[in-house]
Amino acid sequence: MSQGQSNERIADTIGVHWREEEVIRPPEDFVAQANMADPDIFKRMSEAHFPDCFDEYARLLDWSREWDRTLDDSNPPFFKWFVGGELNASVNCIDRHLEKAAERVAWHFIPESEEEAHEALSYGELSRRVNELASVLREDCGLECGDRVTLYLPMTLELPIAMLACARLGVIHSGVFSGYSGAACAERIVDSQSRVLITMDAYRRGGKLLDHKVKADEAAEKAQAAGCPIERMLVFSRYPGQYNSEAPMKEGRDLDANALVRNRAGATVAPQAMRAEDTLFLMYTSGTTGKPKGAQHSVGGYLAWVAATSKYVLDIKPEDTYWCMADIGWITGHSYIVYGPLALGTTSILYEGAPTTPDAGRPWRIAEQYGVNLFHTSPTAVRALRRADPELPKQFDLKFRAMTTVGEPIEPEAWRWYFEAIGHGRAVITDTWWQTENGGHLISTLPALHAMKPGSAGPALPGIHPVIFDEEGEAIPAGSGKAGNLCIRNPWPGRMLSIWGDDERFVKTYYARYNHDPKSRDWRDWPYLAGDGAVQSEDGFYRILGRIDDVINVAGHRLGTKELESACLTVAGVSEAAVVGVSDEVKGVQPEAFIALVDGAAPEKVVDAVKTSVTERIGPIARLRRVHVVPDLPKTRSGKIMRRILVALAEKRDPGNVATLANPEIVEAIHKQLAS
């Protein structure tokens, strides 16, 4: 296949259609105060200084023992950073700030209901609550360093407190997004072999008090059925003193977490010294096969990476008030609500609810009240707020100095609105590209050192050396503007250690594609495959084009199409299913299913059952917008379902040349069906 053809194929799968834009320089007063305004950083972190250049990032942390070696690369692609070094993440996020800043607010917790009181939690109080919960985990649950605990908690203070309590003991936390179904939580409990689940009775979202313990029970039951019983379920009360769940507390298993913590009032727990390359947490993410992968993140490398990127990309300073609207149940929340900002000792907002509850003015009322000056959100939220009322933010006294987006490409029009209506043309914007597997930002502007270009994430961060390969493994010339597969040539400290329990899948997923010599001990032979298409323009900026694998990005949430398809296939009457991401004005893409039925199945019944099955098995974030019952699915001669043709048909675009399919006539049939 010629390079032209292969690149067309990559370009085919992309969701980004805009052109290169003019650049906008950062305001001078931003540059004058920025944490990183020294252009020398690119020299210091150039390839010639790899890997020792990353010591600079590790020095942002407190170590109980200095590292002996920056990088152990003797067993690629299992790289170990800061070897010999020892530290504890909770010490870096809490204890080290106490001497000077025990009174400083770590988080302002803001309940979704505007009737309820806010809570300001100082670093001193955070320390107390983390120690007390760590004591509960050790004394009442018998947890030890290296054990896994699943956290199935909403956006309340208990979630970061639980993470830090685990980190203090060296217990590995595995956070599951509270919007996931009980079944999805069970799968993650089983894979991580957690014996303890920490959860909450209920929480508020979208104006409703949602029963959460019911889902936690379902998770525990399903995990037990799969051979992994939950021995202890710690249940916090959203409103202490009340119990807002239909699900009873189960004797012998469920424990009232608020009471246990009260019993341990004033307890202190010595932090466990961890090796840099030990595991801090697991974060499950979707891949090309049905089973979610547990991205296994390290203590030292990860923490150094999120601290450095929070400082240099987000420009966080201790005296700031920072608000990231993501959910802590995702990697963005782990890295840029909890670990990064706390490592720098700043004050953050922790908001329980949906950004548009009760109306689209909510984020701006919160920002105004607390004088938030750093803001971080997703393109989906930007689009939704713009659609709700583009003029609204102008009525507020917003004082953002820097703003960030993450999770999806942002269209230049939405970017400009963000810049003008929300940033008042004064705030710098960073469009940060990275993935669950990466720990933190990899591609972004450094806001004082680069101009901004709407719709382009930016150049690689210092110390990150990307390459774009074509389908055959030839590097596409840098700056050529041609589409290909984005890879990172070098290891970096924030990268995951492995996929939990599956080293082979780790190598296969991220490295097999472009590694030509599995025995090579040279890191240069191990480019990391990101799974995104990208182009690099002449000025070195990357535009991310979207996933090249069977992953779709719905409102910035990563969903594996295989997971959705297997949920469709559990419904009696479905013989085949293909799920694709179809463009959506607000959410970027929305999933739609194409299903073929077995003879005699009743289409309406099956369609309803398919929709229900997907929300029950995965959660409301995966809700199918439409389900199309079709006579057959377009397939190649080798039987592979051609999803990109289905996407084109659903978006009413030309599906291109279909002559090589095994069943080309089906394309016309589906086209007619969708037009009618």
In the complex, what is the shortest distance from the CB of residue 589 to ligand WTA, in angstroms, rounded to a whole number? Answer: 11
Which residue's CB is nearer to ligand WTA, number 132 or number 411?
411
Which residue's CB is nearer to ligand WTA, number 573 or number 581?
581
Contact (CB, 8 A) for 297 and 282: yes
CA–CA separation, 323 and 569 (whole Å): 40
Q: What angle do CA 573, 577, 578 make, to 5 degrees?
A: 165
In the complex, what is the shortest distance from the CB of residue 126 to ligand WTA, in angstroms, rounded to a whole number? Answer: 25
In the complex, what is the shortest distance from the CB of residue 409 to ligand WTA, in angstroms, rounded to a whole number? Answer: 4
Which residue's CB is nearer to ligand WTA, number 10 or number 274?
10
Which positions ≥6 away from 451 have C-beta within 8 Å?
23, 24, 25, 26, 445
R_g of the chain, CA atoms, integer Å: 24
Q: Calculate the alpha carbon distances from 485 to 14, 351, 364, 437, 635 in Å.
A: 12, 37, 39, 17, 24
Which residue's CB is nearer to ligand WTA, number 237 or number 430?
430
According to CB under 6 A, which residues from 401 to 460 bind ligand WTA? 406-409, 431-436, 457
Binding segment (CB under 6 A) for ligand WTA, from list 33-41, 500-508, 524-532, 630-638? 524-532
Outline where 465-560 has alpha helix (H). Answer: 503-510
180 binds ligand WTA (CB under 6 A): no
Outline where 234-374 has alpha helix (H). Answer: 257-263, 300-312, 331-333, 340-343, 362-370
Tell me which H or E stretch contains 645.
Answer: helix 643-650
Which residue's CB is nearer to ligand WTA, number 370 or number 433?
433
* Of 591, 658, 584, residue with least CA distance to 621: 591
According to CB under 6 A, which residues from 274 to 313 bind ligand WTA? 285
According to CB under 6 A, which residues from 47 to 76 bind ligand WTA? none
Total chain residues near ligand WTA (CB under 6 A): 22
In the complex, what is the shortest distance from the CB of residue 256 to ligand WTA, in angstroms, rounded to a whole number? Answer: 34
Which residue's CB is nearer to ligand WTA, number 135 or number 436?
436
Closest residue (Cβ) to ligand WTA?
436
Q: Rounded to the nearest 5°, which phi and psi values hold at 475? A: -70, 130
According to CB under 6 A, which residues from 456 to 515 bind ligand WTA? 457
Q: Rounded to the nearest 5°, which phi and psi values hold at 164? A: -70, -30
The two three-digit tokens of residue 211, written as one number: 């029963």
Neighbours of 10 (CB within 10 A): 23
According to CB under 6 A, which residues from 311 to 350 bind ligand WTA? 331-332
In the complex, what is the shortest distance from the CB of residue 353 to ligand WTA, in angstroms, rounded to a whole number? Answer: 21
In the complex, what is the shortest distance from the CB of residue 578 to ligand WTA, in angstroms, rounded to a whole number? Answer: 20
Peptide bond into 358 cis (omega under 30): yes
In the complex, what is the shortest distance from the CB of residue 526 to ligand WTA, in angstroms, rounded to a whole number? Answer: 19
Which positions ≥6 away from 29 have C-beta within 8 Å?
none
Contact letters for ligand WTA, residues 538-577 (x by CB under 6 A): ------x-xx-----x----x-------------------
CA–CA separation, 33 and 497 (whole Å): 35
Binding segment (CB under 6 A) for ligand WTA, from list 25-33, 394-402, 525-533, 618-626? 525-533
Binding segment (CB under 6 A) for ligand WTA, from list 231-239, 511-519, 528-536, 609-617? 528-536
Which spans of this chain sit near ligand WTA (rule: CB under 6 A)? 285, 331-332, 406-409, 431-436, 457, 530-532, 544, 546-547, 553, 558
